[in-house]
Amino acid sequence: MHSIAKMSNSTLPTEAADTAFAGLEIAVILPCYNEEAAIGTVVTAFRKELPQARIYVYDNNSKDRTSAVAAAAGAIVRKETLQGKGNVVRRMFADIDADVYLMCDGDITYDAASAPALIAKLVDENMDMVVGCRVDTEVAAYRAGHRFGNALFTGAVARLFGNRFTDILSGYRAFSRRYVKSFPALSNGFEIETELTVHALELRMPIGEIDTPYGARLEGSTSKLSTYRDGFRILMMITKLFKNERPLAFFALIFGLLSLIATGLAIPVLVTYFETGLVPRLPTAVLAASVMLLAFLSLTCGLILDTVTHGRRELKRLAYLTTPSVRAVLEKDL
């Protein structure tokens, strides 16, 4: 059995990586939009670090020469016309067949030299996803607003779904085939990383992280991430996933809120009734009863949807298990 991860905490020599990953089909997948300035350097770097891998660049309606530069650097170039990173990832996962997938942004901010270590951890520990946690090497690399948002969203996901990640918005990840082919990919934009994270947490997959350097963009390359617009979309995605994957907890919160409102409305009415035997504030009494009824309807919805979600999770788990793990692929070749 391969014991690759012990060779280095961060990188592997190219020759060692080439030998260690023998027998595995590796695909480097790079979603891109207007990355003419950086994509050639990114493709060249991954070709150097993973010479046995196929490198795919998916151009998402770029207005510049991204496709031409990527092709000249040796990448397999394909296009996705539906705008948004989530749409590109869905297309890449559907189109490409490999044993190991390495996803990275095409803007040169991530360290290609860390790629062998990401894959080594995935293979050596038989994991389904390994995330490259960003360690910024330059002040300009990681804007304060993005840093704060990442910490906020990572904390929210940890509280709602489990504390197993420290950087849920990293775009640098290695996946097994069984992860990729069991992932529904419903997101459209930059909220895709949140969906990737929660999918692994909900199916209790073996997952891990390693620290990777994170640098600034090249001159001429600009970030496509909008701090407030995409931050709001990520927040909405977390809320949607909480409702879909934890319906009992979600609707129990609504039940609790409505119950408090109903109780607050009912207390003065009950006090008057016990003192006088009369209900002079009939509209308030009716409103309190109606709000409490809505509270119990919400709780009932949560109980029903929790059963549905449990069945849906079992089906996703069975779909996940139909694909062999990375270790099973290697052992088959021995």
**Residue 57 near residue 75, CB atoms below 8 Å:** yes
Helix (H, G, I), strand (E, B) or coil at 278: coil
Provide the pLDDT for residue 145. Answer: 63
Architecture of the domain spanning 5-244: Alpha-Beta Complex (3.90)
Helix (H, G, I), strand (E, B) or coil at 45: helix
CB count within 10 Å of CB 154 equals 19
Provide the pLDDT for residue 258. Answer: 97
- DSSP state, residue 29: E
**Residue 52 near residue 79, CB atoms below 8 Å:** no
Rounded to whole angstroms, how far apart are CA atoms 67 and 190?
21
Closest by Cα among 37, 40, 90 to 60: 90
Scanning 97-211, the segments in alpha helix (DSSP H) are: 115-124, 144-161, 177-180, 192-202
The Cβ-side half-sphere exposure at 161, using a 13 Å CA radius, reads 28
Phi-psi category of residue 94: left, alpha or beta, with phi > 0 → left and psi -120 to 50 → alpha: alpha
Place of tokens 């009992």: 248
Closest by Cα among 131, 175, 124, 126 to 6: 124
The phi and psi torsions of 220 (rounded to 5 degrees) equal 100, -10
**Residue 216 near residue 141, CB atoms below 8 Å:** yes
pTM: 0.84
- Residues paired with residue 133 on neighbouring β-strands, in sequence order: 211
Rounded to whole angstroms, how far apart are CA atoms 120 and 34?
31
Give 10-residue mean pLDDT values along the chain (334 residues): 39 56 90 93 95 95 94 95 94 95 93 95 95 76 68 90 90 96 88 94 94 80 73 91 94 97 94 87 93 97 95 91 88 69
